[in-house]
Amino acid sequence: MMTETVVIDAMGAQGDGIAENGGFIPFTLPGETVSIERHGKEVILTDVLKASESRRQPPCPHFGPAGDLCGGCATQHADDGFYRRWKRQLVVDALVSRGIKTETAELHICEPGARRRIVLTARKTGEGPVLGFNQAGSHTVFALQRCLVATDGLNRKLGDLRALLQHIPGKSLRMTALETETGLDVAISGGPALRPPQRQAAVAEALKRDIARLSCNDEILIEPRKPVLQFGKASVTPPPGGFVQAVLQAEKTMTNLVLAHLKKTKRVADLFSGCGTFALALAGQSAVHAVESDGPSLAALDRAARHTPGLKPVTSEKRDLYRRPLTRNELKTFDGVTFDPPRAGAEQQCLEIAASTVRRVAAISCNPVTLARDLEILTTAGFEVTSVTPIDQFLWSPHVEVVALLERK
């Protein structure tokens, strides 16, 4: 195999170095001279001949071109200064590409050991279950012993999670583990239905391991304690495996930005509301109509609202906003809107907001590219972007959360 020497010109949006004559090269930084080998379409870094001043020793021993890689992180080899500038620039570049001229705040930092929700892959082998993340670019599961991104509570429970798998049928399984205020919420999916002996063994193991709730294929097997998250004044039990913000501090930052921006609004539509992260916090100051396509998440939101005293009126609606966005006429009764869609964004919904009489919008997104497209729709219709805040909810990955606040001129 022939070795090539290339110079890294820039950092790509996925965290790979970009060489003019070498394509995308992982684990490299701008200004470095490196040697590489090509294996078909894959480019392998073999040596760093001239290192960037921004290069550092990765804190995780499993990160880098050698050894067993979990595939979760992309940029541990960059020092904090470079990393933060690069991640903020992802947001700036996305906005500029759509002609949106506004100041972007400095990246809000989330520290290591803060991620409370992880999604793991399990493979059954002759030596027992292997639990971890898929290695980069493969279906091989990296056997996780400790993750620097996850909370200490999740790391301490990894042995317990592996023990649960012994009683769950299926060669390949998906496990979502969420650290809540009352204990660990574990949801397993991908295998066949449990037979009675397997069910009994799994329940006994969950009790032994002090798991707050264990679910399999959306069926709750046992729930010694309801897993609880706090959204404003409301205590919420999310559905098994349901979406919640991955980092508590990031959630608090986003919520505070949304609350401050919509403080003077009387009636708010919370679109793509999930189980109520923003809707229930907003209900402390405004009447809220929550719209979400996932029935269990909406039921959790509604149940929490009904059992929390002191909230403004909260209504809910199960609706696919991609197929049926709230129309401009339906939006007439609202003076504020917040939306937090999946990575595809909220293009059709933004077209309706743009044509409505809504005065204030709080837009949350984990994809700066689709967010910029949606903001362009709103600014073309007369909205002004008053602030953009990038939040590093996905540490050492190429993903970044963004909160954009808008007012109609």
Residue 27 assigned to a binding site: no
The residue whose two tokens read 């790391």 is 155
160 is in an annotated binding site: no
d(CA 377, CA 273): 21
Q: What is the pLDDT of residues 53-76, one digit of tens each?
A: 999 999 998 888 765 577 789 999
Instruction: Measure the CA–CA gap between 30 and 317, rounded to whole angstroms.
Output: 49
User: Would you place residue 42 in the very low, low, confident or very high pLDDT band (cuts 50, 70, 90)?
Assistant: confident
The CATH architecture that domain 3-55 belongs to is Beta Barrel (2.40)
Query: Most distant CA pair in the chain: distance in Å?
Result: 70
Q: What pLDDT does 68 receive? A: 56
- Cβ-Cβ contacts under 8 Å for 13 (sequence gap 6 or more): 90, 398
Contact between 359 and 57 under an 8 Å Cβ cutoff? The reply is no
What integer is the mean pLDDT of 261-282? 98
Active site residue 70: no
Q: Are 258 and 284 in contact (CB under 8 A)?
A: no
Where in the chain are the domains? 3-55, 85-110+247-408, 117-222
Residue 133 labeled ligand binder: no
User: Do 3-55 and 117-222 agree at the fold level?
Assistant: yes
Place of tokens 């939306």: 339
The answer for residues whose C-beta is within 8 angstroms of residue 382's C-beta and 6 or more apart is 354, 408, 409
Domain 117-222 CATH class label: mainly beta
What does DSSP say about strands 234-236 and 229-231: parallel, antiparallel, or unpaired?
antiparallel
Q: Terminus-to-terminus CA distance in the chain, angstroms? A: 61
Q: What is the mean pLDDT of the chain?
A: 95
Distance separating alpha carbons of residues 357 and 307, to the nearest angstrom: 32
CATH number for the region 85-110+247-408 comes to 3.40.50.150
Model confidence over 75-128: pLDDT tens digits?
Answer: 999 999 999 999 999 999 999 999 999 999 999 999 999 999 999 999 988 888
272 marked as binding residue: yes
